[in-house]
Amino acid sequence: MTKIGGERRVSYLGPEGTFCEQAARKHFLEAIFVPYSSINEVFSAVERGDTEYGVVPVENSTDGSITITLDCLLTSRVVICGEVELKITHNLISKPNTCKSEIELIISHPQALAQCREFIKRNFPEAELRESSSTAKAVELLKNFDNSAAIGTEAAAKRSRGVILRRNIEDEVNNVTRFFVIGKKEVGPSGKDKTSLVFSTKHIPGSLYRVLEVFAIRNINLTKIESRPEKRRRWSYVFYVDIEGHKIDPIVREALDSMKKRCIHVKVLGSYPKAC
């Protein structure tokens, strides 16, 4: 998506120094960037109009989807209007004068801990692992603990005056996180678009097949499909799908019309340009 200029307010999962902030700054040329302490709060800020856009993580190439983001998309009034892909590199960070051999506690976001589990296992098999709301928050928390380290960004280390003990500690070299840009205004077609949907079907044999058939017979490519519990009813599920094309493209519009006849519920989450 073409970067957006102008002094607008953009919320992101904070505090400062998170990968989410990096993704927001990658997408927006100029903006007032406002950190929030949870993904839910980023959605709420956009819904209230406190910020014009929000940036939230949606999936990682090695650890899969961010389920809280999917759940928020299901119930929120915002739409997806862009996506950003960001290569993730993790660093082991400590307070000054902390030796690697002294580390007994490692703090980070659950996904960061998961993405570095082999590094931790090899180097700190006895260390206690503690989760935080973000990688940047983990670095902030170091001030409260001795013999501790955090997994986070270089920006977070600089902001908190931490020391990087080891760089690039992620287990997979090709570690990329995808972020959604959310807002209230829909985006027109660019010629290279995706559309994200969520739908539910009757709990009968062949119901999912009949829904996916509307894309197959029209040669519309699915780039993602995932199920999540519906929550209101036990053992019932909703399905999240990303397809290629914009919702106003004639072939996509035709598929969506057919899909609505075969589903209990369909919600278009947004059409947006593919990440560059």
Count CA atoms closer than 13 A to 236's CA, side-chain side. 13
Position 2 confidence tier, pLDDT thresholds 50, 70, 90: very low
What secondary structure does DSSP assign to the chain, as a single string? ---B-SSEEEEEESSTT-HHHHHHHHHBSSEEEEEESSHHHHHHHHHHTSSSEEEEEEEETTTEE-HHHHHHHHH-S-EEEEEEEEE---EEEE-TT--GGG--EEEE-HHHHHHTHHHHHHH-TT-EEEE-SSHHHHHHHGGG-SSEEEEE-HHHHHHTT-EEEES---S-SS-EEEEEEEESS-----SSEEEEEEEE--SSTTHHHHHHHHHHTTTPPEEEEEEEE-SSSTT-EEEEEEEES-TTSHHHHHHHHHHHTT-SEEEEEEEEEPP-
pLDDT 10s digits, 108-156: 999 899 999 999 999 999 999 999 988 999 999 999 999 999 999 999 9
Average pLDDT over residues 17-40: 93
Note whether 240 and 196 are within 8 A (CB): yes
Closest of 18, 255, 218, 8 to residue 136, by C-alpha: 18
Instruction: Provide the mean pLDDT of the chain.
Output: 93
Return the residue matching tokens 């058939």. 213
Average pLDDT over residues 32-47: 96
pLDDT over 80 (residue 3): no
pLDDT over 60 (residue 70): yes
* pLDDT the model gives residue 6: 53
pLDDT over 50 (residue 193): yes
- List, in order of start, the domains of the chain with CATH numbers: 8-88+175-183 (3.40.190.10), 91-166 (3.40.190.10), 193-273 (3.30.70.260)
* pLDDT the model gives residue 233: 75
Task: Locate 43 and state its tokens.
Answer: 């959605």
Note whether 69 and 228 are within 8 A (CB): no
pLDDT 10s digits, 28-39: 988 999 999 999
List all residues 6 or more positions away from 24 whose beta carbon is below 8 Å from its beta carbon: 10, 12, 31, 33, 55, 84, 179
pLDDT over 80 (residue 163): yes
User: What is the Cα–Cα distance from 265 to 55, expressed in whole angstroms?
Assistant: 26
* pLDDT the model gives residue 7: 76
* pLDDT the model gives residue 29: 84
pLDDT over 80 (residue 107): yes
Q: Which residues are catalytic?
A: 177, 179
Average pLDDT over residues 162-187: 94
Position 4 confidence tier, pLDDT thresholds 50, 70, 90: low
Task: Locate 126 and state its tokens.
Answer: 């006895």
Which pTM value belongs to this model?
0.86
Q: Does the CA dihedral 210-230-184-37 come out positive or negative? A: negative
The more confident residue out of 220 and 229 is 220
